[in-house]
Amino acid sequence: MLPFTLRLVDGTPVSDQILAAVRKAMLTGQLKAGDEFPSVRALSQELRISPTTAHKVVLALKDGGYLASRPGIGMVVTAPVLPGLDEKLDQLAPACRELLKEAADLHLNFDQVIDALKRAGGSDLDLIRSTRPKP
């Protein structure tokens, strides 16, 4: 079983989708420093992707400092550098684009979209408000 969640969609390279899912899992604490990471073989079998694509993903994560090779263990998650605002916003970008496309299809304006977010957010909005930087 993979230590991160992923729903593959058409239109975006599979390797990019996996990289984004792994980074998100690290940002949210689903993957922590020291956790074992699946081997290339396990990734390719679990996701039903080519070993070449799985290898590309593991190399990119290793080159990016997200994974390290440990003798006798395999790949493990390293302590990622805390993400900056840009990286956090990059994680939201696909969902934002999808929301904006849907809003345009429904002929909603910006204020209506904000109202919809407030209605849908409920108590989750309180979580966001509590993480706001203090002025």
| Single-letter code of the amino acid located at 88 | K
pLDDT at 135: 47
pLDDT at 89: 84
What number of CA atoms fall less than 13 Å from residue 70's CA on the CB side? 13
**CATH architecture classification, 14-77:** Orthogonal Bundle (1.10)
Q: Which tokens belong to 95?
A: 């969902």
| Single-letter code of the amino acid located at 42 | A
pLDDT at 41: 93
Cα-only R_g, the chain: 18
Portions of the chain given CATH number 1.10.10.10: 14-77
Residue 76 host element (H or E): strand 74-77
pLDDT at 24: 84
Handedness of CA 4, 47, 19, 13 (dihedral sign): negative
pLDDT at 103: 92
| DSSP state letters, 9-68 | -TTS-HHHHHHHHHHHHHHHTSS-TT-B---HHHHHHHHT--HHHHHHHHHHHHHTTSEE
pLDDT at 81: 60
Spell out, as residue ranges, where the chain has pLDDT lower than 50: 134-135
Residue 25: Cβ within 10 Å count: 19
